[in-house]
Structure 1
């Protein structure tokens, strides 16, 4: 399986810092709006429905204050990963039963070979998020550029 270059995937236009959501629903809606504003998705309600369907199948909080909600959706125009850094902790079903402050929302086309692209993106990001130094760096970022740099 070919490795994905995060530098090509991480788009500063869909990375946001200092977000104010305090619930999972607010977090997902804010990030879906960001994706919609940048023409990554064609329909926020359709995209959210697909994300919540995937959420119903198992926890997407991976621990260390990070969640990686994802799902494939017909409403996706362009694959990407929206990253939201939240000011406050958000209750989320996570492996360590702790809330999250970083949400990496995967935006992947349904069908059309999207599954393998989805797995490659997930593997590339998870590799970085499994590194404690990267997570520490992310937790102290204050700008979109710093967020992107932490992953590279």
Structure 2
């Protein structure tokens, strides 16, 4: 059974939502998960959600919100799905979202990034987003999730407007935070390369990376995250998000982000592999 299908429950899906703004939305989510026994305390839940939201908006793409919390007040992992055709005001400049996937996981959860990555992949498909917005009942949403997780191979059609993003972080202790923010800003199909030998080989076999290797410790312990984006300005956008979190990718030896047109990359990914 797929990652999302394991967690998403019909009891936590609201279609045809009429809420007006983010404040009302978060209140509704808090009341819902409290009533179903997923959290211990509504006020603590709201505090955690807003603390994360105030760091940077969790609108991960146009029309999509993914608020989330990782805390010991969460008794059981959950995903709340809320759909609004009219849109819910989500942050400044009258921005609205139509699809909200709120994630709550226990403090020691090992599936946190896995869940976020799966949702990002799920919502990266235009046909799925349209079908979700037009869903009449929770069963429609459950079927879309089930069908998505049955797919074995990522289709390679329409790759001309997509890019392969490669993110190299030289300070391993910051990697989990970088990965979380990369996914939040729209990276899909994320894959981690966590092998000192593999990274060393990349540094010295690929001319573009040779100079970066000079700034690294001779015992290279960096981590690499690769994934897909449709945003040709993704590298600059992610760098800005990281800088707001006091991770300045432009500092010497800190790391590097670069994009490559996906049409220049040969091969495909197995979508059945849980990441």
Residues in 2 aligned to 1:75 and 1:92: alpha-carbon distance in whole angstroms: 25
Residues in 2 aligned to 1:65 and 1:150: alpha-carbon distance in whole angstroms: 18
Q: CA RMSD in A?
A: 1.9
Among 121, 127, 136, which residue is 2:115 paired with?
A: 121
Gaps of 5+ in 2: 147-275
Residues in 1 aligned to 2:51 and 2:125: alpha-carbon distance in whole angstroms: 29
Note the C-alpha offset of 1:19. 2.3
- Which structure has more relative contact order (CA 8 Å, sep 6+)? It is 1
Residues in 2 aligned to 1:18 and 1:36: alpha-carbon distance in whole angstroms: 21
1:78-89 counterparts in 2 under 5 A? 78-89=76-87
1:1-152 counterparts in 2 under 5 A? 5-93=3-91, 98-110=95-107, 112=108, 114=109, 116-152=110-146
SS across alignment from 2:68: coil
Note the C-alpha offset of 1:88. 2.9
Gaps of 5+ in 1: none
Matched positions, count: 145
1:10–1:81 CA contact under 8 A, matched in 2: yes
Give me the TM-score of the superposition, normalised by structure 2: 0.50
SS across alignment from 1:103: strand
Residues in 1 aligned to 2:5 and 2:134: alpha-carbon distance in whole angstroms: 20
| Inter-CA distance 12–129: structure 2 relative to 1 (3 Å threshold) | same
SS across alignment from 1:71: strand
Query: Which structure would you say has the larger Rg?
Result: 2
Note the C-alpha offset of 1:4. 5.5
